[in-house]
Chain A
C-alpha cells in the first residue's frame, strides 16, 4: 500500500515536472460546459393558513422554474416553453404531455448524483399524462416518502431526477429538502411548524446546455 502510494506520488511529481518543462500554450484546458447549481427554499404553493375546519389552505398554484436560466418563470408564461419544471406541494411537472406545450419529460434514476455522468442510452423518458406524471407522485414511489406517524416528507436518498427540458436538453437534479431552511424538520417539531414550513424545495442540479447526455 505504502509502496503504491509512493509510486503514485513519484509519477505525479514526474508529470508536473514534465508540464513545467513544456511550453504553456500546449496545455489545453478542458472546456467546462456544465456546472452544478444549488437552489434553496423554492416555494411550491406554501400553506397560507389553517381554515376554521382545521384544514390548511394555500393558493393552489404552481411555481414554474427554468433550469436553463436558473430562475422562476412567471405563471403567465405557463403555456410557453420558457419553463422546465413546475412545483406544487409534492407534485413536480415537466413541460410536456398534458402539462405543457414543450418537449419536457423525465425519469427517476436510482443512484448517486455524482455517479450519473452519462444518461444511459436505454433510458426511457416519460411524459406527463395526468393523473400520472413523469416524476411519479406518491410516498415511496417517486422522490419522497411520507411518514404517517411523524407527518414528515423526506426526499428519498439516492434518487436523481433526470430531466428533459422544454427545449429538449438534459439535466440531472437531486432534491435535498422539502422544508424551509433546507433541512427536514425534526420529528419533534410542532404540527403547525410542519405545515407552514413545508413546500420549500431545496435542490441541486446540473444542466447540460450542449444537448448531449453527458454531464
Chain B
C-alpha cells in the first residue's frame, strides 16, 4: 500500500503532544508547572487550566509498580474500575462507554458492549496520563461525555537502551525493552512489551479461571524528524497482539455449558503528524490516524459445537488544527476533520459486510486571558454524521485566581456519545440462552417486518412503533472546583460536579416471536443524572514523606424511575416478602455505582534513590442485581460488599542505572470472585530494571 503510506506521511498529530517541552520534572504538587495538553488541545500549564485535570506522571506509575493502565487508574479520585467485557473505567459515576481513551491524542477503538478493555494498554513507556473530568465533546467529539483519558507515551528519549523484567504471582511476567536513538534532526524510540500470566481461579473448588491465561505482545515505535526550524514530522505506530485461552461458561435456565478455545485480539494504530510554524504566533498541524481492532473468538462447546465470534473495527481519521495567537492574551484554535469508520461482526446480519459511518467535524476554541487572575475559554464543535443525528457541543470554562493560594474553576459543557455500531446494526440471536434476539435500531423494523411476513412474529409492542433513527446520547455537565495551597507543603482541592444525561440509549423489548422468545432493540429513552463532590489533598510531612489522598461522594439516579417512585407506582418487598411502595429513601440510583470511594497513600523517597509507598483503596457497596421484583435499584436488591485493599511497594534506583523494586498488592487478600473478578488475591512482584543513560543530560 505505498499510496496510503504516502498520504499518511502528510497528515499528522498536533504538536500539542509533541511540543517543545522536552522533559517536565515531576513536581511534588499537582499545582506545579507541569504542562497539560488534553484540556485545551494545546500546551498549557496545569496552574492555568480552566477545567479539572488529574495528572499522573511516570514516577507515580513506576513507584506503584503498575504495569497495566487499570492498575494506576483505580488509584485515582473519581475513577472506579468495572468488570464485565474487560476492565473498563467509570468516571464520576458514568459507565465506561462515556469516557474516550486516547493514546497520544488518538482514540482507541474496539469496544465490547461499550467497554474498552484497559488491560490492553501497557504502561512501560508512558510519560504521563492526563484525565480531564467533565464533558469534553467540544474538543473531542463522541464518547467524551464523562471525560477524557489521554495516555502520552514518552518521546523525550532519555535513554538509548533500557530493559526491565517483572515477575509475580500466578506466573505473571512482564518484560519491557526500550531503545532510543537521537541525532540533531531525528528522535527515535522503540518500545517492546511482553506480558504473560497463567491467570487465576479465586473461586474455591473451581477449575474455571476468573482471569484466563493471557499472552500479550505489544510494541510502539515513534520517530520524530525535525526537517527545519519550522517543520517537524512524527510517525507513531503501536501494535498489540494478545491470545487469551478462554474457558467460557454460559448459563441458560440454570444449565451451564462450558466452551473452550482461544480468543485472539489485535490492536494496531498508525499515526503521522506534520507540524508547521508559519510564525511564532501561527502554527498548524496535519494528522492522520488509522487504527484497526480485530477480535476473534474460536470456541468449542463440550458437545463439540463451534462458537465463533468476530469483531473487526477499522477507524481512519484525518484532521487539521491551527493555533493562532491573535494577540498576546487571545488564543484561537480551529480544527477540521473527517472520520471513516467501519465494523464487521459476526453479530451483524453478515460478517462479510462492513457497516460504515462517516463523520465530518469542525471545532473552534477561544481563550482569553483577561488578566493575571482571570482566564476564560469558550469552545464549540459540530459533528455531522452519516448514520445518526448531528451534534453541537459547546463548552465554557473559566479560572479565577483569588490570590496566590486560592483558585476557582468553573466549567459548563455538553458532551455526547454517538450510537455505536452495535446499537445500530446488531443482529444477534442467542441460541445458547432462550433464543431471544437483539436487533440494532437501524434494521430492527426491516428485519422484524421480514420475520413477520414469514409468520414468525407473535406480537409487537408499542416500542416497536417508536423505533426511529437513534440520536446521540447527550449530557450537560457542570464542574466547580476550588484549589487551595495555603503553604507550599499543602495542597487541597475540592470539586462539585453534576451531569444531566438525556437520550440514553437503552435495550427495550419490542416484541416476541411466535414461540414467546423476546425481541429487543434500542431506543433513546433514558434520562439520568450523576452528582457529587471530590476532595483531594497532598501534604508533605517532611522532605521525604508525602501523604496524599482523595475521596469521592457520588449520587446517581434514573430520572424516569425517580418520577415513578414519587408517583407511588414502584413497589418493593419487605423482609417478609410482602409488596410495599418504594420510597425515595430506599432508592439507590444507578447500578455499579458506589456512594463513597477513597484512597490514601503515604510515600517515602530519599535522595539516595530509595522509595517506599503504602496505599489503601476503599469502595463502598454498589448495587449489582435487581432481586426484589422491580426494575429499580433499591436497598432490597443485591449489592456487592464494600471493601478496601492495601498495596505496598519498595524499591531503589542506583546511580549506575540499575533499579530494583518489590511489592505486594491486595495485602489483605480481599476476594469477591463474583463482583470483582479482576481483583486477584494477594500477589507479589519483583521488578528489575537496567537503564543506560546519556552522559550529559540536563
Taking Cβ atoms with an 8 Å cutoff, the residues of A that contact B are 50, 54-56, 110, 112-113, 131, 137-140, 144-145, 147-152, 154-159, 174, 176-177, 182-184, 186-188, 191-192, 194-195, 198, 202, 204
B 544-574 to A, binary, CB cutoff 8 A, 1 in contact else 0:
0000000000000000000000000111110
Q: Is the CB–CB distance between B577 and A147 below 8 Å?
A: no
Q: Is the CB–CB distance between A56 and B577 below 8 Å?
A: no
Which one of B433, B516, B569 has the highest number of Cβ atoms from chain A below 10 Å of its Cβ?
B516
Q: Is the CB–CB distance between B579 and A187 below 8 Å?
A: no
- Determine the residue in chain B with the shortest Cβ distance to A113: B579
Our count of residue pairs bridging A and B at CB distance below 8 angstroms stands at 94
Q: Is the CB–CB distance between B638 and A112 below 8 Å?
A: no
Q: Is the CB–CB distance between A147 and B626 below 8 Å?
A: yes
Q: Determine the distance from Cα of A202 to Cα of B573 in the docked complex, in whole angstroms.
A: 14
Q: Is the CB–CB distance between A156 and B630 below 8 Å?
A: yes
User: Which residues of chain B are near A157, meaning CB under 8 Å?
Assistant: 571-573, 579-580, 582, 628-630
Q: Is the CB–CB distance between B254 and A158 below 8 Å?
A: no
Q: Is the CB–CB distance between A56 and B254 below 8 Å?
A: yes
Q: Give the 3 A-B CB pairs with smallest separation, nearest first.
A: A158-B571, A157-B571, A176-B577
Least CB distance from B98 to A in Å reads 22
Q: Is the CB–CB distance between B627 and A154 below 8 Å?
A: yes
Q: Is the CB–CB distance between B625 and A191 below 8 Å?
A: no
Q: Is B256 an interface residue (CB 8 A)?
A: yes
User: Which residues of chain A are near B512, meaning CB under 8 Å?
Assistant: 138
Q: Is the CB–CB distance between B577 and A187 below 8 Å?
A: no
Least CB distance from A177 to B in Å reads 6
User: Which residues of chain B are near A176, meaning CB under 8 Å?
Assistant: 573, 576-578
Q: Is B280 an interface residue (CB 8 A)?
A: no
Q: Is the CB–CB distance between B571 and A112 below 8 Å?
A: yes
A145: contacting residue among B253, B570, B578, B629, CB under 8 A: B629
Query: Using a CB-CB cutoff of 8 Å, which residues 571-615 of chain B contact chain A?
Result: 571-573, 576-582
Q: Determine the distance from Cα of A214 to Cα of B362 in the docked complex, in whole angstroms.
A: 67
Q: Is B674 an interface residue (CB 8 A)?
A: yes
Q: How many interface residues does B have (CB within 8 Å)?
A: 35
- Determine the residue in chain B with the shortest Cβ distance to A110: B569
- Determine the residue in chain A with the shortest Cβ distance to B509: A140
Query: Using a CB-CB cutoff of 8 Å, which residues 619-644 of chain B contact chain A?
Result: 624-631, 638
Q: Is B434 an interface residue (CB 8 A)?
A: yes
Q: Determine the distance from Cα of A104 to Cα of B582 in the docked complex, in whole angstroms.
A: 32
Q: Determine the distance from Cα of A159 to Cα of B629 in the docked complex, in whole angstroms.
A: 10
Q: Is the CB–CB distance between A184 and B254 below 8 Å?
A: no
A156-B630, A183-B577, A194-B254 given; A138·B572 CB < 8 A: no
Q: Is the CB–CB distance between B638 and A187 below 8 Å?
A: yes
A184: contacting residue among B433, B582, B627, CB under 8 A: B627
Q: Is the CB–CB distance between B674 and A139 below 8 Å?
A: no
A156-B630, A182-B577 given; A138·B516 CB < 8 A: yes
Taking Cβ atoms with an 8 Å cutoff, the residues of B that contact A are 251-257, 433-434, 509, 512, 516, 518, 569-573, 576-582, 624-631, 638, 674
Q: Determine the distance from Cα of A110 to Cα of B581 in the docked complex, in whole angstroms.
A: 11
Q: Is the CB–CB distance between B629 and A174 below 8 Å?
A: no
B628: contacting residue among A54, A110, A154, CB under 8 A: A154
A56: contacting residue among B255, B579, B624, B626, CB under 8 A: B255
Least CB distance from A148 to B in Å reads 6
Q: Is the CB–CB distance between A158 and B579 below 8 Å?
A: yes
User: Which residues of chain B are near A137, meaning CB under 8 Å?
Assistant: 516
User: Which residues of chain A are near B674, meaning CB under 8 Å?
Assistant: 187-188
Q: Can you give 12 A-B contacts (C-beta < 8 A)? A: A56-B254, A110-B569, A113-B578, A145-B626, A147-B625, A147-B627, A151-B253, A155-B629, A156-B571, A158-B581, A158-B630, A195-B254
Q: Is the CB–CB distance between B518 and A187 below 8 Å?
A: no
User: Which residues of chain B are near A174, meaning CB under 8 Å?
Assistant: 578-579
Q: Is the CB–CB distance between A191 and B579 below 8 Å?
A: no
Which one of B253, B254, B628 has the highest number of Cβ atoms from chain A below 10 Å of its Cβ?
B254
Q: Determine the distance from Cα of A150 to Cα of B573 in the docked complex, in whole angstroms.
A: 19
Q: Is the CB–CB distance between B255 and A191 below 8 Å?
A: yes
- Determine the residue in chain B with the shortest Cβ distance to A54: B255
User: Which residues of chain A are near B582, meaning CB under 8 Å?
Assistant: 157
- Determine the residue in chain B with the shortest Cβ distance to A139: B518
Q: Is the CB–CB distance between A151 and B577 below 8 Å?
A: no
User: Which residues of chain A are near B577, meaning CB under 8 Å?
Assistant: 176-177, 182-183, 202
Q: Is the CB–CB distance between A154 and B629 below 8 Å?
A: yes
A149: contacting residue among B569, B573, B625, CB under 8 A: B625
Q: Determine the distance from Cα of A144 to Cα of B570 in the docked complex, in whole angstroms.
A: 15
Q: Is the CB–CB distance between A191 and B254 below 8 Å?
A: yes
Q: Is the CB–CB distance between A148 and B433 below 8 Å?
A: yes
Q: Is the CB–CB distance between B627 and A158 below 8 Å?
A: no
Least CB distance from A145 to B in Å reads 7
Q: Determine the distance from Cα of A198 to Cα of B255 in the docked complex, in whole angstroms.
A: 13
Q: Determine the distance from Cα of A113 to Cα of B574 in the docked complex, in whole angstroms.
A: 13
- Determine the residue in chain B with the shortest Cβ distance to A176: B577
Q: Determine the distance from Cα of A152 to Cα of B219 in the docked complex, in whole angstroms.
A: 45
Q: Determine the distance from Cα of A21 to Cα of B513 in the docked complex, in whole angstroms.
A: 70
Least CB distance from B271 to A in Å reads 39
User: Which residues of chain A are near B628, meaning CB under 8 Å?
Assistant: 154, 157, 184
Additional 14 contacts, C-beta under 8 A, given A148-B434, A151-B253, A202-B577:
A56-B253, A112-B579, A145-B629, A147-B625, A156-B571, A157-B582, A158-B570, A176-B573, A176-B576, A187-B674, A191-B254, A191-B255, A191-B256, A195-B254
Least CB distance from A188 to B in Å reads 6
- Determine the residue in chain B with the shortest Cβ distance to A155: B629
- Determine the residue in chain A with the shortest Cβ distance to B580: A112
User: Which residues of chain A are near B516, meaning CB under 8 Å?
Assistant: 131, 137-138
- Determine the residue in chain B with the shortest Cβ distance to A144: B629
Q: Determine the distance from Cα of A191 to Cα of B627 in the docked complex, in whole angstroms.
A: 16
User: Which residues of chain A are near B433, meaning CB under 8 Å?
Assistant: 148
- Determine the residue in chain A with the shortest Cβ distance to B251: A151
Q: Determine the distance from Cα of A160 to Cα of B573 in the docked complex, in whole angstroms.
A: 13
Q: Determine the distance from Cα of A145 to Cα of B257 in the docked complex, in whole angstroms.
A: 23
